């Protein structure tokens, strides 16, 4: 099995929830849906206070004039709009959001109907459906899927479906592969046909043996989807590392997967496309792993967008008394939140609660570099984190740019392995922010 440069092997913690079937969480009395749940320009409000909406109603129209990098936002419940105002977003900022009072009728919008695909223009129709349904990178990256597919047309010779799910504790994609296998495979086939390829590669890490066995049984006698088993290693789920593991190709600095003739989509993105085609439903909910040592009963839940994190935690038995931190996302790249009423959004694949034992003590006390070079050896992007750290501390921005600091994906491998407890990721984030603030 091929692999990528660097990486680490943290305790994955997946045993807490990997055997927990997906449970449906009832929609709350009120949802708060941000109009920015994707990379790119925020959607523009399409409703006003007092408007009635249904499940699937467009409440945020994709922005235009930004090279197509935006996505529409839909109502996850039926009811009435009580506010269109700035609310706290999981990223810590206040973002324009639509607040909807749920009438608990779950009336579907008239636009929610199965989609017909024109066989003569398959690619265009799939791109249209992805855009209309607001499908984004559901593994957490949230890049609009229609734009990614369009960028790969007539360029990609390899379609990779990302089932690595390498972050500790997260098992949502694993459960979707087990519980709705056929829907995922149908979604993959739609993407493959849209790209005009004969085969797709479904990449799954070796720690998901039950999913691998099931997929191979389902695909017996077919040759259009190959299940590729990968060594279990973090951050394998990052698309550049996944491309290297699957194809051996290296995505150059500043380039995209399409530049090496690859397109990568997440397992749940393929599932969401299939749902949009077969039912007409846009992205109104998602499967979320609620896990970690700080959770009483770890679970996988299907949650409506806009539901407060607090409701998901309650459904999992609540937080243990010694819980120290709550993250949206995994412990390596997730964001800590200080308000449990922030909403679940499209990119929320997990809610992880950590106890003091899981909090790396470099978050409190910074030590000194001992020149061991571990951070360099584990960096999957072939960077030199210790020098990025040193130059950021001295505000040597030209040197940071020469060392390709903007290529850092902030995976945390360097900080995880650093015996000197340096605040490497924080320094790199600060350095990137300083460079972005420079006059263009």
Mean pLDDT of 178-190: 98
DSSP letters, 278-347, are HT---S-EEEEEEESTTBSS-EEEEEETT-BHHHHHHHTT-B-TT--EEEES-TTTPEE-S-TTSBP-TT
- pLDDT tens-digit map of 376-393: 999 999 999 999 999 999
- pLDDT band, residue 88 (cuts 50/70/90): very high
At 366 the pLDDT is 73
Q: What is the mean pLDDT of residues 145-153?
A: 94
Q: What's the chain's average pLDDT?
A: 94
Q: Give exposure, 186-213, as e/b (b: 16+ Cβ within 10 Å).
A: bbbbbbbbbbebeebbbbbbebbeebbe
Phi first, then psi, for residue 340 (nearest 5°) are -75, 0
Mean pLDDT confidence for 152-157: 94
What is the secondary structure of 137-171 as a DSSP string? -TTTT--BHHHHHHHHTTT-SEEEEEE---STT--
User: Which residues are within 8 A (CB) of 424 and not within 5 positions of it... i.e. 6 or more apart?
Assistant: 375, 385, 386, 388, 389, 414, 415, 418
Question: Which residue in the block uniquely carries the two structure tokens 């989509």?
Answer: 265
DSSP 44: E
pLDDT for 362 equals: 45
Per-residue pLDDT band at 1 (split at 50, 70, 90):
low
- pLDDT > 90 in the chain, percent: 92
pLDDT value of position 210? 97
266/138 Cα distance (integer angstroms):
6
Helices 267-278 and 172-179 cross at an angle (nearest 10°) of 50
pLDDT tens-digit readout, 251-275: 998 899 999 999 999 999 999 999 9
Question: Which DSSP letter does residue 358 get?
Answer: G
pLDDT at residue 65 greater than cutoff 90 = no
Residue 187 confidence (pLDDT): 98
Query: Can you tell me the distance from the alpha carbon of 164 to that of 242, in angstroms, rounded to the nearest whole number?
Result: 8
List Cβ neighbours of 206 (8 Å cut-off, separation of 6 or more): 212, 229, 230, 231, 232
Reported as a pLDDT band with limits 50, 70 and 90, residue 67 is low
Neighbours of 83 (CB within 10 A): 14
The pLDDT value recorded for residue 357 is: 78
Give the CATH number of domain 133-278: 3.40.50.11540
Break the chain into its structural domains and give their ranges: 133-278, 363-436
Q: How confident is the model at residue 365 (pLDDT cuts 50, 70, 90)?
A: low
């Amino acid at each position: 099995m091929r692999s990528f440069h660097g990486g680490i092997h943290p305790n994955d913690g997946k045993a807490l929830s990997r055997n927990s079937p997906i449970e449906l969480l009832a929609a709350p009395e009120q949802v708060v849906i941000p109009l920015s749940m994707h990379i790119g320009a925020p959607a523009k409000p399409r409703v006003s206070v007092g408007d009635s909406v249904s499940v699937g109603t467009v409440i945020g129209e994709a922005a235009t004039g930004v090279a197509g990098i935006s996505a529409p936002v839909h109502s996850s419940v039926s009811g009435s709009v009580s506010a269109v105002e700035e609310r706290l977003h999981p990223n810590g900022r206040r973002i324009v959001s639509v607040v909807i009072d749920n009438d608990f009728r779950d009336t579907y919008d008239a636009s929610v109907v199965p989609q017909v695909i024109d066989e003569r223009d398959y690619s265009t129709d799939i791109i249209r459906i992805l855009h209309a349904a607001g499908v984004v990178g559901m593994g957490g990256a949230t890049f609009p899927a229609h734009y990614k597919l369009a960028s790969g047309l007539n360029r990609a010779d390899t379609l990779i479906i990302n089932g690595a799910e390498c972050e500790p504790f997260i098992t949502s994609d694993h459960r979707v592969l087990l519980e709705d296998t056929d829907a995922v495979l149908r979604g993959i086939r739609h993407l493959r046909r849209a790209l005009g390829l004969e085969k797709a590669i479904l990449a799954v890490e070796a720690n998901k043996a039950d999913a691998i066995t099931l997929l191979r049984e389902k695909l017996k006698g077919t040759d259009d989807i190959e299940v590729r088993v990968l060594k279990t290693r973090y951050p394998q789920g990052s698309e550049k590392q996944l491309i290297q593991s699957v194809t051996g190709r290296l995505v150059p600095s500043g380039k995209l997967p399409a530049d090496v003739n690859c397109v990568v989509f997440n397992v749940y993105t393929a599932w969401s496309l299939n749902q949009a085609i077969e039912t007409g439903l846009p992205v109104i909910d998602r499967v979320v792993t609620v896990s970690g040592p700080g959770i009483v009963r770890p679970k996988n839940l299907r949650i409506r967008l806009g539901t407060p994190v607090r409701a998901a935690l309650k459904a999992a038995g609540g937080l243990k008394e010694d819980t120290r931190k709550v993250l949206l996302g995994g412990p390596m790249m997730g964001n800590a939140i200080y308000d449990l009423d922030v909403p679940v959004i499209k990119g929320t694949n997990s809610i992880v609660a950590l106890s003091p034992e899981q909090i790396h003590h470099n978050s409190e006390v910074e030590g000194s570099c001992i020149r061991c070079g571990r951070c360099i050896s584990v960096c999957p992007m072939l960077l030199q984190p210790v020098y990025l750290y040193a130059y950021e501390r001295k505000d040597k921005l030209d040197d940071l740019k020469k060392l390709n600091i903007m290529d850092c994906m902030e995976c945390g491998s360097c900080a995880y392995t650093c015996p000197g407890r340096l605040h490497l990721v924080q320094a790199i984030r600060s350095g990137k922010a300083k460079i972005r603030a420079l006059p263009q």
